[in-house]
Amino acid sequence: MPLKTIGKFSLSYLQVLDDKGKLDENLEPKLSNTELNKLYRAMYLARQLDSRMLKLQRQGRLGTIPVCTGQEACVCGATFALRDSDWFVGSYRELGGRLMRGEPLINPMIYYNGYEEGSFNPVNDRTLPINIILGSQLPHAVGAAYGSRLKGEKENASLVFFGDGSTSEGDFHEAINFAAVWKLPVVFFCQNNQWAISTPRANQTHSESIAQKAISYGIDGIQIDGNDVLAVYKATKDALDRGRAGEGPTLIEAVTYRMGVHTTADDPTRYRKNAEVEEWSKKDPIKRFENYLIEKKAWSARKQKTMEDEIKAEIEQTVKDFENMTDFKPDSPFDYLFETETDDIKALRAEFLNEIGKDADNA
Amino acid sequence: MPLKTIGKFSLSYLQVLDDKGKLDENLEPKLSNTELNKLYRAMYLARQLDSRMLKLQRQGRLGTIPVCTGQEACVCGATFALRDSDWFVGSYRELGGRLMRGEPLINPMIYYNGYEEGSFNPVNDRTLPINIILGSQLPHAVGAAYGSRLKGEKENASLVFFGDGSTSEGDFHEAINFAAVWKLPVVFFCQNNQWAISTPRANQTHSESIAQKAISYGIDGIQIDGNDVLAVYKATKDALDRGRAGEGPTLIEAVTYRMGVHTTADDPTRYRKNAEVEEWSKKDPIKRFENYLIEKKAWSARKQKTMEDEIKAEIEQTVKDFENMTDFKPDSPFDYLFETETDDIKALRAEFLNEIGKDADNA
Amino acid sequence: MPKMNMIQAINLALHEEMEKDETVLVMGQDVGVNGGVFRATEGLSVKFGKERAIDTPLAESGIIGSAIGMAIAGLKPVAEIQFSGFSYLTLGQLEGNAARMRTRSRGQFTCPLVMRMPYGGGVRALEHHSESKETYWAHTAGLKVVIPSSPRNARALLTAAIRDPDPVIFMEPKHSYRAFKEEVPEKKETMEIGKAEIVREGSDLTLVSWGAMFHLTKKVVDQIQSERKVSIELIDLLTISPMDSATINASVRKTGRCVIVQEAQKTLGPASEIIARINDEVLMYLEAPVKRVSGYDVVMPYFGREKMYLPTMERIRRAIEETLEF
Amino acid sequence: MPKMNMIQAINLALHEEMEKDETVLVMGQDVGVNGGVFRATEGLSVKFGKERAIDTPLAESGIIGSAIGMAIAGLKPVAEIQFSGFSYLTLGQLEGNAARMRTRSRGQFTCPLVMRMPYGGGVRALEHHSESKETYWAHTAGLKVVIPSSPRNARALLTAAIRDPDPVIFMEPKHSYRAFKEEVPEKKETMEIGKAEIVREGSDLTLVSWGAMFHLTKKVVDQIQSERKVSIELIDLLTISPMDSATINASVRKTGRCVIVQEAQKTLGPASEIIARINDEVLMYLEAPVKRVSGYDVVMPYFGREKMYLPTMERIRRAIEETLEF
Ligand SMILES: Cc1ncc(C[n+]2csc(CCOP(=O)(O)OP(=O)(O)O)c2C)c(N)n1
Ligand SMILES: Cc1ncc(C[n+]2csc(CCOP(=O)(O)OP(=O)(O)O)c2C)c(N)n1
Ligand SMILES: [Mg+2]
Ligand SMILES: [Mg+2]
């Protein structure tokens, strides 16, 4: 037959724990209660820190911040599947994941107060700092995985986060194509939170799903419930395992929702209906996970209370530490331009120090 | 079922006239003998001009040229489906198509002799000039289609050509995504000639086909025999018709072969086997089409002879005209920088004219 | 005459030109329903429809690449890049196609498009939101580069940019977006692209600046002139390319002294070209080296340190004094 | 000491560094099996394997973006962009990430990568194959920009670039690839990035040039000096950024006269910065305006007209003579 079918593709959707709390036991990941509690705590911490930072921002003590509320299952669940030696490559909406990578709580405060000091992770040196050029982080994850493989660290994978909007950038395409050709263990994790500032998912791309874009590169792709942390963990873990086994990259589309503003500079009432937000609030990932844990007897009201108190204290202590910070070396941009200071930079630094020394405005 | 299938996609392959000359009459496009002859002539002319230019190049009378031999069914077949008012947007390997758009035979000679004069098509003003930044022409086709639609010329479609290699560029992705979201009548025509200079198709992307990349954008995609001009014409015509009817863009992957060098600066023996070239030479698109026409009694040895003589004469006359051309205004780059000459440019032009006036080298 | 800020003035120009010429359209991320993240395109989508106030997918090269196609097809797209820090992704399309289409096709196809974008520091924004890279565009033959400094000239120059038959990069000093209001004539107004404005005449020193720096500079000049008897000629460059060196050089010929204030990094910022052209034409009139007050050649720091890395009034003042006393 | 041309010298440096340090690799379009379209990477894939001489898919931003990731992971990728005209597609990655990674991460992550590419005119190539846009990179803080002029310094500087702990843009004057041979020491050799070379001392005029223009300039100097008694100090800039203005300015202080020859377009080409720095430091020693011989501010024409648009020996000669006689 001259008009013949030469390819068939299908796309799957994974949900382990649905929004009614119904669990599919066959798919349930085997995690100990300790592990489950740790994951739950990470999600809870992220939510609390986010809302505390939002307050700081509203009081003028932080600059513009993105808010991650509602997406905790995505970032925490996926990060939980990662090893410390793997590469964590993010954009800016992965607060919970970054904390799991050992980033001190004070870091995001420092960062959103406008200092590079907040970009340095003293605990894990395979966690790339926040990257704002959308999509541009994807090739970094690819290159890092290549680097690890070439250096003989064959087990090291990359996990890279990005939003639904970022899938429109050329770098999304180029990066996945490279990873596929090179058969690298890279998990491309799309947090499809339905919006890119004011642009709804449907205006971002005409495909029925983002997951199906995997077909374009001949790699595995899957759509998952991004508010179901068990599904997120499972899909990411499976993808990482396949990657480590030499089976190449995976594209995961986690369907979730940006519950809050895009950033504190944004006013979502201009472009989206409150009803939509309310609908999604019923699918809250933390609540859903909590119910699962309680059902499983892995969690209790008492544990919840202890954790809440601990986290509250930890955050308030961090806010205090943050407010007491003063020591930001003015000329550090000169320190980090090149490894070895050039003559030009030496002269400019001297000029700079001379200027700010003289200049009362900046003292 | 929590792990459920949410999407199914399939991919078709179109061939109307196979390499053994077997015709699928159900799929045969309804073209008159006159039309068929015209199309055949276009393919033949392209082949002849190409080989004549190759000679000129080898004699040092032209600069580097790409050679299009073997791909005549693609460019001529697809262009044949186009209306004059449609947009023709090419890269550099569409000689036959450009001639069909009314470009004088002398143009490619002028172009490959290093003059912009060869980029101007005096007959059709919806044919964009050769574009060398691979992939960058794709968004132009999208914008042009948008422009036509907004201006109320709703029937105007775009046809844009590019190679297999160019599908790796970010602009490929961005352009198709835009066209899909905007539901524009754009036909993305990939001449998959198996090679991007020395890079074989398999190293360019890990997908089984290029056509399946359409799935990524939720648009129609089809793989066709690019050496079967009837399939090319039919697929392009159908895609244009769907586009004009408001059904959005199509990605066509035409499977063909670059029979010659990449350009005259290239030595393919370094990276590909002669056996492969020989294999493909059996699928020659012109020969196949000729046999079909003869079978159909739409062509004859006599007609062939007449055409050959005519084309030969036409080409030789063009070469003569080309060799007599001398009139290249030295300062025309200043003419075409801006519509209105700026003071800066006026001064620089004067400086330039003064310099070349004084300078014996350039006189 | 209504008073308005720069964002309102830009919005006005867009309304006027879209009203006047139905081939004009705006496109970009969040420019439609949301009216742009700075509200420069507010109201256009309601008034002119989504087909002329296009919310594009998130892809800068795609935006400019398709704008080129639209321009070729006879439209006049005004593409917004959300912040200039994301515009570098469009250099391929702009250098490779927009700037060349007229030359390449010998006038058969042209690219009357505008790329608008907020640029520059001072608004406590995140990384990549504060750069001043006008050099990239000004070093690209075939592009014009315009930087307004006030509501009135923003409206007039944007109007001119939209009407210009060639591609124009229109860089908006975001620090000035809402910094002050100014009377903007009710009647449509344009200004010639490629002309600097002598805002105040003077005979002792020439001061050249543009964008948000122009205001800082003007404040310093006001201060100095209130303190001592010195006559400073204040020039607002307005167009970076083509550069109006005739105006600057005529001024320097008269004053013999010159200070240039730019936000851009020092090396190869526009001031370098201004100095080179002073050298070309009026070197022998100089009584002191031309002084540059500029950003430093470092990566623009996050906003905590940003203010120290932008020219300050103190630095401008010292540069003026040192040049006067040289 | 073997004689070799610049392509061979580049190839040698790549061989040596890949041999010495197994974290070094080359990547790009056609750099593997084909050995690069100019054969700069010839033999590397056979010797070091396809994993270290990587034929990439056709995507410049992807090449540099993944090179950044590799560099972060501890490799030293040497990425080839086939012609510099396609490198503009990488500005987003380079400005946005490579140049900033050290600053952004406070030294936790660095980008020791090299982007190599042929640039410049004179080889009768197609559109986009002849530009000289070193300014784009030199105006980007955090990048170093190196342009060799001969086989020997190409080998030494490329070696230094590969070993450099920061990103280096290495622009190869393709006109010089096979133009002449030179002795290249058997022993490994490096040169310091950021230092200009005084190729010939002189006292009457300073001549600064780089890349392919350096040879043209040198020829003119030879001619002039054979004709008349004049002493020209000839400087090969070698690094565009960081710019060695100390060497240039010391020379100008001595000679009082300066001519700069660049292929780049006039406006905001490197010569503008050289002039600005002369102005900063040694203006009062100038006895004549500094002269720029450069490309014109037009779109580089197709190769039929190209030669007229590149500096010629005649133009250089006249600039020298006018400056001497000023
Ligand atoms: C290259 C680039 N273009 C534009 C922006 C401005 N911008 C910041 S966030 C954003 C929307 C991002 O949407 P998405 O990728 O879905 O991520 P989300 O914010 O929803 O997490 C835009 C347009 C940017 N940061 N980078
Ligand atoms: C953006 C860009 N990168 C690199 C090149 C150099 N180059 C010219 S042709 C070519 C291969 C193109 O392959 P393909 O797209 O398959 O087209 P084909 O030549 O096979 O028709 C390359 C890498 C270019 N012209 N543009
Ligand atoms: Mg989103
Ligand atoms: Mg090809």
Residue A286 forms part of a structural domain:
yes
Measured at the CA of A14, the angle between CA A12 and CA A19, to 5 degrees, comes to 135
Crossing angle for the helix pair B301-324 and B33-58, to the nearest 10 degrees? 40
- Range list of H helices, chain D: 6-20, 44-48, 60-72, 91-93, 101-104, 134-138, 151-163, 212-227, 245-255, 270-282, 303-309, 313-325
Q: Are residues A237 and A362 in the same domain?
A: no
pLDDT given at position A154: 85
Domain range spanning residue A336? 330-363
- Range list of H helices, C172-269: 212-227, 245-255
Active site residue B93: no
Per-residue tokens: D27: 């990547």
Whether residue D265 is predicted with pLDDT greater than 50 in this model: the reply is yes
Spatial separation of the C-alpha atoms in residues B133 and B121, rounded to whole Å: 20
C144-146 and C182-183 strand pairing? unpaired
pLDDT given at position D279: 98
Residue nearest ligand 2's atom 13 by CA: B196
Q: Are residues B320 and B339 in the same domain?
A: no
The partner residues of C259 in beta bridges, in order of sequence, read C207, C291
Q: For chain A, state the CA radius of gyration.
A: 22
pLDDT given at position C2: 87
Q: For chain B, state the CA radius of gyration.
A: 22
Q: Are A220 and A239 in contact (CB under 8 A)?
A: yes
- C57 CA to centre of ligand 3 in angstroms: 12
DSSP A247: I
Q: Are residues B87 and B207 in the same domain?
A: yes
Chain D residues near residue B344 by CB distance under 8 angstroms: 267, 297
Going by C-alpha positions, the residue among D240, D286, D247 that lies closest to residue D264 is D240
Q: Are residues B149 and B278 in the same domain?
A: yes
Q: Are residues A353 and A241 in the same domain?
A: no
Residue A3 forms part of a structural domain:
no
Q: Are A238 and A225 in contact (CB under 8 A)?
A: no
Q: Exactly one of B47, B242, B258, B288 is catalytic; name it.
A: B258
CB contact under 8 A, B146 and C70: yes
CA distances from C175 to C126, C226, D146 (A): 14, 26, 35
Provide CB contacts within 8 A for A93, sequence distance 6+. Answer: A66, A68, A71, A75, A161, A163, A191, A193
- A188 CA to centre of ligand 3 in angstroms: 15
The one-letter amino acid at D269: G
pLDDT given at position A309: 98
Active site residue D129: yes
Residue A247 forms part of a structural domain:
yes
Q: Are B345 and D263 in contact (CB under 8 A)?
A: no
Q: Are B69 and B47 in contact (CB under 8 A)?
A: yes
Q: Which of A136, A167, A169 to mutate to test the interface with C (most CBs of C within 10 A)?
A: A169
Q: Are residues A216 and A350 in the same domain?
A: no
Shortest alpha-carbon distance between residue C129 and chain D (Å): 11
Spatial separation of the C-alpha atoms in residues D301 and B333, rounded to whole Å: 6
Nearest to C128 among A115, A132, A337 (CB): A132
Ramachandran class of B316: left when φ > 0, alpha when ψ lies in -120 to 50, beta otherwise: alpha
Q: A31 exposed, middle or buried (CB, 10 Å; 0-12, 13-18, 19+)?
A: middle
CB contact under 8 A, C57 and B116: no
Q: Exactly one of A52, A126, A262, A288 is catalytic; name it.
A: A262
CA distances from A142 to A153, C221, D68 (A): 14, 53, 9
Q: Are residues B115 and B53 in the same domain?
A: yes
Tens-digit pLDDT string for chain C (326 aa) = 789 999 999 999 999 999 999 999 999 999 999 999 999 999 999 999 999 999 999 999 999 999 999 999 999 999 999 999 999 999 999 999 999 999 999 999 999 999 999 999 999 999 999 999 999 999 999 999 999 999 999 999 999 999 999 999 999 999 999 999 999 999 999 999 999 999 999 999 999 999 999 999 999 999 999 999 999 999 999 999 999 999 999 999 999 999 999 999 999 999 999 999 999 999 999 999 999 999 999 999 999 999 999 999 999 999 999 999 99
Q: Quick one: which ligand is closest to B165's CA?
A: 2
CA distances from D133 to A65, B314, C143 (A): 37, 42, 15
Residue A5 forms part of a structural domain:
no
Whether residue D243 is predicted with pLDDT greater than 80 in this model: the reply is yes
CB contact under 8 A, D66 and A143: yes
- Phi, psi (rounded to 5 degrees) for D153: -75, -25
D76-80 and A220-225 strand pairing? unpaired
Spatial separation of the C-alpha atoms in residues A110 and A324, rounded to whole Å: 11
For every residue of D102-146, DSSP letters joined together read HHHTTTSS----EEEEEE-S-S---TTSS---HHHHHTSTT-EEE
Per-residue tokens: C15: 């309304």
Q: What is the pTM of this model?
A: 0.98
Shortest alpha-carbon distance between residue C242 and chain D (Å): 9
Spatial separation of the C-alpha atoms in residues C256 and C243, rounded to whole Å: 20
Q: Which of D55, D58, D115, D127 is the best mutation target for the ligand 2 pocket, counting ligand atoms within 8 Å of the beta carbon and taking the most?
A: D58
- Range list of H helices, B86-150: 95-100, 106-112, 138-150
Number of continuous H segments (helices) and E segments (strands) in chain B: 13, 8
Spatial separation of the C-alpha atoms in residues C79 and C60, rounded to whole Å: 10
The one-letter amino acid at A232: V
Residue nearest ligand 2's atom 21 by CA: B163
Residue B3 forms part of a structural domain:
no
Provide CB contacts within 8 A for D148, sequence distance 6+. Answer: D6, D154, D157, D158, D170, D172, D173, D211, D238
Summarised one tens digit per residue, pLDDT across range B202-240 is 999 999 999 999 999 999 999 999 999 999 999 999 999
Q: Are residues B241 and B290 in the same domain?
A: yes
Spatial separation of the C-alpha atoms in residues D9 and D181, rounded to whole Å: 9
Q: Which residues of C are catalytic?
A: 129
Instruction: Using pLDDT thresholds of 50, 70 and 90, give the confidence band for residue D2.
Output: confident
Spatial separation of the C-alpha atoms in residues D228 and A146, rounded to whole Å: 60
Per-residue tokens: D51: 């994993």
pLDDT given at position D95: 98
The residue ranges of chain A whose pLDDT is under 50 are 1, 360-363
Whether residue B360 is predicted with pLDDT greater than 80 in this model: the reply is no
The number of residues in chain C equals 326
The distance of Cα D47 from the centroid of its chain, to the nearest Å, equals 27
User: Can you tell me the mean pLDDT for B274-294?
Assistant: 97
- Phi, psi (rounded to 5 degrees) for C104: -60, -40
Whether residue B363 is predicted with pLDDT greater than 60 in this model: the reply is no
CB contact under 8 A, D62 and A178: yes
Q: Which chains touch B (3 or more CB pairs under 8 A)?
A: A, C, D
User: Can you tell me the mean pLDDT for D290-308?
Assistant: 97
- Range list of H helices, D256-302: 270-282
Q: Exactly one of A271, A272, A292, A302 is catalytic; name it.
A: A271
pLDDT given at position B359: 52
Shortest alpha-carbon distance between residue C265 and chain A (Å): 11
Task: Report the Cα–Cα distance between both ends of chain A, in Å, rounded.
Answer: 80
Q: Which domains does chain D have, with CATH numbers?
A: 3-183 (3.40.50.970), 197-325 (3.40.50.920)
Spatial separation of the C-alpha atoms in residues C264 and C294, rounded to whole Å: 6
Peptide bond into C242 cis (omega under 30): yes
Per-residue tokens: D191: 């040169």
Q: Are residues A350 and A241 in the same domain?
A: no
Instruction: Using pLDDT thresholds of 50, 70 and 90, give the confidence band for residue B133.
Output: very high
Per-residue tokens: C203: 């005979």
Residue B198 forms part of a structural domain:
yes
Residue ranges with CB less than 5 Å from ion ligand 4: B 163-165, 193, 196
Q: Are D293 and D259 in contact (CB under 8 A)?
A: yes
Spatial separation of the C-alpha atoms in residues A270 and A264, rounded to whole Å: 14
Residue ranges with CB less than 5 Å from ion ligand 3: A 163-165, 193, 196
Indicate whether residue B262 lines ligand 2 (CB < 6 A). Answer: yes
Q: Are C73 and C20 in contact (CB under 8 A)?
A: no
What domain count does chain B have? 2
Residue A350 forms part of a structural domain:
yes
The partner residues of D208 in beta bridges, in order of sequence, read D235, D260
pLDDT given at position B361: 46
Active site residue A140: no
Spatial separation of the C-alpha atoms in residues A114 and A63, rounded to whole Å: 7
Q: Are residues A343 and A199 in the same domain?
A: no
Spatial separation of the C-alpha atoms in residues B303 and B322, rounded to whole Å: 28
Q: Are A234 and A24 in contact (CB under 8 A)?
A: no
User: Can you tell me the mean pLDDT for B246-256?
Assistant: 98
DSSP C39: S
Q: Which of A69, A134, A190 is the best mutation target for the ligand 1 pocket, counting ligand atoms within 8 Å of the beta carbon and taking the most?
A: A134
pLDDT given at position B327: 86
- A307 CA to centre of ligand 4 in angstroms: 60
Nearest to D299 among C103, C243, C288 (CB): C103
Whether residue D55 is predicted with pLDDT greater than 70 in this model: the reply is yes
Exposure class string for A199-227: b at 16+ Cβ within 10 A, else e: bebebbbbbebbbbbbbbbbbbbbbbbbb
Q: Are residues A351 and A256 in the same domain?
A: no
DSSP C186: S
In what side-by-side order are the strands of the sheet with B220-225? A87-89, A158-163, A186-192, A250-255, A220-225, A3-14, B4-14, B220-225, B250-255, B186-192, B158-163, B87-89
DSSP D299: P
Residue B110 forms part of a structural domain:
yes
Summarised one tens digit per residue, pLDDT across range D142-171 is 999 999 999 999 999 999 999 999 999 999
Q: Are residues B157 and B250 in the same domain?
A: yes
A283: domain CATH number is 3.40.50.970
Shortest alpha-carbon distance between residue D130 and chain B (Å): 12
